[in-house]
A and B are shown apart, each in its own frame.
Chain A
Amino acid sequence: MRKITFKIQRFDGQESWIQEYTLDHQPGKTILWALIQIKETLDPSLNFTASCRHAICGACAVRVNGQATLACETPLDKMLKRWESDTLILEPLQNFKLIRDLVVDWEPKAERLAELKPWLMPKDEFNKESGCRQSPEDFKKINKNSDCILCGCCASECNKLSGNNSDFLEPFVFTKAQRFVADSRDKNPVERLSAAINHGAWKCQHCQECVTKCPKGLSPAEDISNLRQEAIAKGLVEHSGVRHAKAFLDDIQKTGRLNEGMMAVKTDGLVKSIGNIPFALRLMSKGKLNPAHMFPKPIKEVAEVRAIILAVKESEKARNIANAKRSEAHTNPDIQRPKEAAK
């Protein structure tokens, strides 16, 4: 009989240890099946949470060999195949306070969620008695992000959050915020936007872990990007992140290529960049920062590039396809839930 070994991180409130459990292999099962099997046949003191068992309640997220996933819908065989091993390591989510074994504390997250005021502030034209109005197109803009089940997979693997969580929020918090910013019924997107900026929207590292881990096919990193764009559109431009992003557009329109040499100056301003002189000298000494290269020659098609950007923007205004397309859920290949069709 093929045996599967699970090395599970245990925690009793004080100490942490790894405990090994072995089960007989059964085909077609899930990680949650294994956890339940262990609890019911080997060790009742192992703790984890799960409720709906079909990826809608968000209770069962754990890390399998370092990757956050919903236990209930993650096929065991798929994991065994991925890791080419009959041993799997199960751990609690990262970036959460640990309660016991695989159980993490969501209460502090609720407080952090509230920071971005994730609730509808209905426009004055609407009232409780007659509800709101929203076009099907506008509903589409909030449909995808309403799929978030607060499972925490994104937060667990977020590189920025792991680095420092004091000036950033969980990716799902930004996703929630974006859902309200995009809601045509809401009267106060700016409040969420400035809160998002103040809570680190420009500090996301763009590592795409959140997008990769989301079991519902959401893209928190893209939501952060959308929040950034919206913030700029609403005039919240006083930020190094804005200057940095803008520098790319400016350079492309000016020469077609990025002027790295001037990037620091454009992003941080001349004065702050001077503080980086030792770094600049370091690069210069190796020829990495070539003063002669400071002002690259434009490519000869630069006028054409400008024209194309302009023309696409014009036709986009006329037809908002690209954005609509962009907000569809993607397929998370870990789970292989085919999302070929729009919901």
Chain B
Amino acid sequence: MMKYAFFPGCVLEGASQEAYTATTKVAQALGIELVEIPGWTCCGGSHLQDYDKTAALAVNARNIALAEKMGLPVLTVCNTCTLMLREAKHELDNGAKELVNPALQQAGLEYTGTSPVTHFLWMLIKDYGLDKLKKKVKRPLKGMKVAGYYGCHILRPPHIMGFEDHANPHSLEDLIRALGAEPVLFDARLKCCGFHSVFTSKEDTMKATGTINLSALEGGADCTVTPCPLCQMQLDMYQPEGKRAVNANDDIPALHLTQLIGLALGYTAEELGMKRHIVNTGILLAGR
């Protein structure tokens, strides 16, 4: 059985609890064991390093070291967590290890570099296999047009992420197809949703969010799906502001990656926490 040290990230404990539920359910259905890393801390969310770079390195070295202690690879479900952890790993592997280990040792930890950091999406494609996933699909999402929205940090910067070509990725589309749905390639699929500047540059952020949703709608999508809970928050929670910023009228539901998979695996919308979304997901599920 596949087994991972699970790094849920803070949002999965808070605003995006539904993603936590969906992740656990999907993992269960697929026979993937997720063991939550005991005592993990926030990764710094791509902001901490601006205030204190060293602290960002230290906490993530610790997060990874905890997983190493479990003898398991790290599994994340958030783009930004993935980036933060992998960035730390990159530095640790390039000389920072010696700097951090004495401190970790005080807590009985050590970073050795044995636990890779992967994302749920990558895991499904590389470790689990889409063919195998296909076989588990109970309710193919026939006729559903899904706009795969990557978000920045699962692709960029490529020298840290590097799972697939940053300019022409297709992991999301492959996955959408495996679930029986139809991927929609829309213009803004690689753009940034603006989440990280929501406080400092609100107007731009809302424009970015609105543009992505509009672009997905114009591409004929029924919903967006994203591998990042932060992007999902942005596309969903701020959708009203986004619409206003680009003068759009229509709503488009934004699903977490694991919710889309969950649907195909036969879970109900209720079970996947879709009631918690701001934008009603009902239209999407009508007739399903």
Do A and B pair up? The answer is yes
List residues of chain A with CB under 8 Å of any chain B CB: 65-67, 82-84, 159-160, 163-164, 167-168, 200, 202-209, 211-212, 219, 221, 225, 228-229, 232, 239-242, 244-246, 248-249, 251-252, 256-258, 260-261, 264, 267-268, 279, 282-283, 286-290, 293, 296, 299-301, 304-305, 307-316, 319, 321-326, 330-334
Residues of B within 8 A of A84 (CB): 168
Contact partner, B156, options A163, A211, A311, Cβ 8 Å: A211
8 residue pairs, one from A and one from B, having the closest CB atoms: A311-B103, A207-B192, A208-B156, A163-B204, A245-B51, A258-B10, A203-B201, A312-B58
B177 sits at the interface (CB 8 A): no
- Which chain B residue has the least Cβ–Cβ distance from A304? B107
Interface string of B54-81 (1 = CB under 8 A from A): 1101110110000000000000000000
**Cβ-defined partner of A311 (8 Å) among B45, B106, B155, B237:** B106
Residue B86 at the A interface, CB < 8 A? no
Q: Would you call the interface of chain A mostly helix, strand, loop, or mixed? A: helix
Q: Is the CB of A212 within 8 A of B41?
A: no
Cα–Cα, bound, A190→B15 (Å): 39
Bound complex: CA A279 to CA B240 (Å): 10
Separation in Å of the A230 CB from the closest CB of chain B?
A: 10
- Decide yes or no whether B205 CB sits under 8 A from chain A: yes
Q: Residue A244 contacts which of B15, B47, B155, B156 (CB distance < 8 angstroms)?
A: B47
Residue with the highest number of chain B CB atoms closer than 10 Å, among A168, A203, A267: A203
Q: Is B263's CB within 8 Å of the partner chain A?
A: no
Q: How far is the CA of A220 from the CA of B129 in the complex (A)?
A: 36
Asked if B167 and A334 sit within 8 Å, CB to CB, the answer is yes
Q: Whole-angstrom distance between the alpha carbons of A43 and B102 in the complex? A: 65
Say whether B59 contacts A309, CB under 8 Å. yes
Task: Report how far A211 CA is from B46 CA in the complex, Å.
Answer: 15
Residues of the A chain whose Cβ atoms lie less than 8 Å from the Cβ of B91:
322, 325-326
Q: Per-residue CB proximity of B194-209 to A under 8 Å, as 1/0? A: 1011011101110110
Contact of A286 among B44, B166, B194, B276 (CB under 8 A): B276
Residues of A within 8 A of B199 (CB): 240-241, 244, 264, 267-268
Q: Is the CB of A258 within 8 A of B153?
A: no
A65 to B187, CA, bound (A): 11
* Chain A proximity of B207: nearest CB distance (Å): 5
B192 touches A159 (CB 8 A): yes
The 8 Å CB contact of A205, one of B53, B196, B240, B275, is B196
CA distance A67 to B156 in the complex (A): 13
Q: Mark B207-218, 1 if CB is under 8 A from A, else 0.
A: 110000000000
- Asked whether, in the complex, the Cβ of B58 is within 8 Å of the Cβ of A260, the reply is no
Selected from A211, A249, A261, A325, the residue in CB contact (under 8 A) with B55 is A249
Question: Which residues between 146 and 168 of chain B lie within 8 Å of chain A, taking CB atoms?
Answer: 152-153, 155-159, 162, 165-168
- Once bound together, how far apart are the Cα atoms of A319 and B98, in whole Å? 10
A311: nearest residue on chain B (CB-CB)?
B103
Docked pose: A323 CA to B200 CA in angstroms: 26
Contacts of B95 in A (CB 8 A): 321-322, 324-325
Instruction: Tell me the minimal C-beta distance from B7 to chain A in angstroms.
Output: 12
* Known contacts A287-B276, A322-B96; A241/B50 CB under 8 A: yes
Q: Is the CB of B39 within 8 A of A208?
A: no
In the complex, A202→B59 CA distance in Å?
23
Residues of A within 8 A of B204 (CB): 160, 163-164, 203, 205
Given contacts A207-B191, A209-B156, 7 further A-B contacts (CB under 8 A): A164-B201, A208-B153, A211-B156, A221-B157, A286-B278, A300-B39, A326-B91
Interface residues of B in 1-28 (CB under 8 A from A): 10-11, 13-17
B42 within 8 A of A: yes
The 8 Å CB contact of A251, one of B42, B50, B158, B167, is B42
Q: List 30 A-B contacts (CB under 8 A).
A: A159-B192, A168-B201, A202-B197, A209-B152, A209-B192, A229-B49, A239-B200, A241-B50, A245-B50, A248-B48, A251-B42, A252-B59, A258-B11, A258-B45, A283-B237, A286-B277, A288-B16, A300-B39, A301-B39, A304-B39, A305-B59, A307-B103, A308-B58, A308-B104, A311-B103, A315-B103, A321-B98, A323-B53, A333-B166, A334-B167
